[in-house]
Amino acid sequence: MKNKLLKKIAGIFGYRLIEKRAFKNNRVLSRYSSLTIKKILQSIFEENKVKELIQIGANDGLSFDELNFFIKKYKTKSLLVEPIKENFNLLKDNYKNLDFITFENSAVSVNDEISYLYKVDSRYIQKYGAHISAIPSFNKKHLINHGVKNQHIVYEKVNSITILDLINKHQINNLDLLFIDTEGYDGNIVNDFLSTVNTRSIIIFEYIHIDNNVYESLINKLLKKKYLFFSVGENMICYPKEIKIKINLKDY
C-alpha cells in the first residue's frame, strides 16, 4: 500500500516536472524559431487579406502587442476591445487621431457571463515584471500562477458583451481577422464565434491557458467548420480551408 502511494506521488510530481520542462522548452523554441507570429501577420497583411479586424484583449496597444505595427502601417479598419479602464485609456491614447480605429471598453464573454476581472492592485504593480499589466483574467488562479501574491490581487467590475453583439453594435460587415488574447478565456470566445457568427475569418488566439475540455471542444468545432490550423509559440492560427496563406520565413 505504501509503495503504491509513493509511486502515485512520484508520478504526480514527475508529470508536473515534465510539464514544466515542456513549457520552458516551448518558450525557448518560440524565441528562436524561424516561424513567428510576426511573420504570420506580415504574410497575411502583405497579401492584403486583412482589411478589417477585431482585437480582443488589446491592453494598452503597445505592451506585448503584435498588431500595433501592422494596423498603423496598413491603416487597417480595426475594432480594439479592452475591458480594464486604465489600460483602455492608454489604448485610446496610443491610437489617437487615427480615424480607422474604433474602441470598445468591454469584456467579450459568452452570454455576458463576465462581470469582473482580477488584476494586480496598482499599489503593488511595480513589484512585478512589465508583463503583469497584460494578464488581468476572469480566473484569479491565473494571476497566482504568474507569481502574483494573493493579497496583491483586486478585481474590477467590467462591462460585458457577446462576440455577436459586439459585431452587430459596431456594424462589422467584412471581418477578416479575429485576434484574441484574454488570458485563458480565448477558447470560450472562439467557440462562441464559430457557433453564432457566420463570417469565416482568420482567427488567432492564445491557447496555452485554455481549459482542456473547452480546448477539445474548440478543436472539434474548428474541424467541423472546415478550418485548418497550426500553432506558433503560444498562439494558434486558424483559417478557413478556402483561404490560402503563404508564409515567408525570411527576416524582415
Model confidence pLDDT, tens digit, residues 92-116: 999 999 999 999 999 999 999 998 8
| Residues of the domain holding 179 | 34-115+158-240
Residue 9 lies in a domain: yes
Indicate the burial class of 35 (C-beta count within 10 angstroms; 0-12, 13-18, 19 or more): middle
Helices then strands, each counted (H, E), the chain: 8, 11
* Residue reference for cell 503597445: 62
- Tens of pLDDT, residue by residue over 147-183, are 888 888 888 899 999 999 999 999 999 999 999 999 8
Indicate the burial class of 172 (C-beta count within 10 angstroms; 0-12, 13-18, 19 or more): buried
Asked if 25 and 41 sit in the same domain, the reply is no
pLDDT at residue 5 above 60?
no
Asked if 106 and 2 sit in the same domain, the reply is no
Asked if 90 and 170 sit in the same domain, the reply is yes
Q: Is residue 6 very low, low, confident or very high in pLDDT (cuts 50, 70, 90)?
A: very low
Mean pLDDT along residues 54-64: 93
Q: Is residue 3 very low, low, confident or very high in pLDDT (cuts 50, 70, 90)?
A: low
Asked if 3 and 70 sit in the same domain, the reply is no
Which pLDDT belongs to residue 10?
A: 46
Residue 107 lies in a domain: yes
pLDDT at residue 18 above 60?
no
Cross-strand bridge partners of residue 178: 54, 203
* Residue reference for cell 471542444: 217
Domain count along the chain: 2
pLDDT at residue 1 above 70?
no
Residue 58 lies in a domain: yes
Nearest to 50 by CA among 164, 176, 144: 176
Q: Between 69 and 246, where is the model more confident?
A: 69
Asked if 185 and 224 sit in the same domain, the reply is yes
Residue 205 lies in a domain: yes
Cβ–Cβ under 8 Å, residues 122 and 98: no
Residue 67 lies in a domain: yes
Mean pLDDT along residues 222-251: 90
Q: What order do you get walking across the sheet with 202-206 strand by strand?
A: 101-104, 77-81, 52-56, 177-180, 202-206, 235-240, 227-232
Assign residue 210 a region: left if phi > 0, alpha if psi is -120 to 50, beta otherwise? beta
Least confident of 13-22, 152-161, 180-189: 13-22
Asked if 173 and 81 sit in the same domain, the reply is yes
